[in-house]
Amino acid sequence: MRTIVILMVLSIFSCKEKVTSPSLETVNQDDVITMSSISNYDSISNLVKTKGDTLAYNELFYHLKDSDKISRTDTLMYFSKIMAERFNNKHAYIDYFEALCEKYDIEVDFSNYSSINISSMDKSSKQKAENWLKKMLEKNIISKEQFDSIKK
């Protein structure tokens, strides 16, 4: 009997209220996703945005990989763009491009750039991808041959 009472009390305290999120169109980029799995999400995201902290970025990146596709890709694009452009993090350039492609269901195999085909993207997204690839080329993250082999 005592065990049952303890289990009931524990189950009551472990219940959490379900939180619904607004539609993606109404969400500010700073608030793209909330993650209860990262208890200090605000401080981690702040370290990424203000200091370019690579450890915080990596922690955020790996936690985002467990979230749903739309939230994950948009949020990864947001933070990786900050890390790439403000703090010149070369891996973040790759993360951004990969998240952009994932958003449009395009397979990315960085061991075989000729397998990447962005031609199916809508015009605006394709232009965004091409511009990003040009930045990667300028920063020597990818070679001219790799750039040219991507199907555009």
Q: Residue 29 domain-assigned?
A: no
Specify which residues 151 forms β-bridges with. Answer: 117
Q: Residue 16 domain-assigned?
A: no
pLDDT in tens, 69-125: 877 899 999 999 999 999 999 999 999 999 999 999 999 999 999 999 999 999 999
Indicate the pTM of the whole model. 0.71
Q: Residue 73 domain-assigned?
A: yes
Contact assessment for residue 111 and residue 79, using Cβ atoms and an 8 Å cutoff = no
Q: Residue 74 domain-assigned?
A: yes
CA distances from 132 to 31, 42, 72, 129, 148 (A): 23, 27, 19, 5, 14
For residue 71, which of 130, 23, 18 has the smallest C-alpha distance? 23
Total domains, the chain: 1
What is the residue range of 106's domain? 37-149
Q: Residue 23 domain-assigned?
A: no
pLDDT in tens, 16-62: 444 443 444 454 555 444 444 445 778 888 899 999 999 999 988 88
Q: Residue 136 domain-assigned?
A: yes
Q: Residue 2 domain-assigned?
A: no
Q: Residue 45 domain-assigned?
A: yes
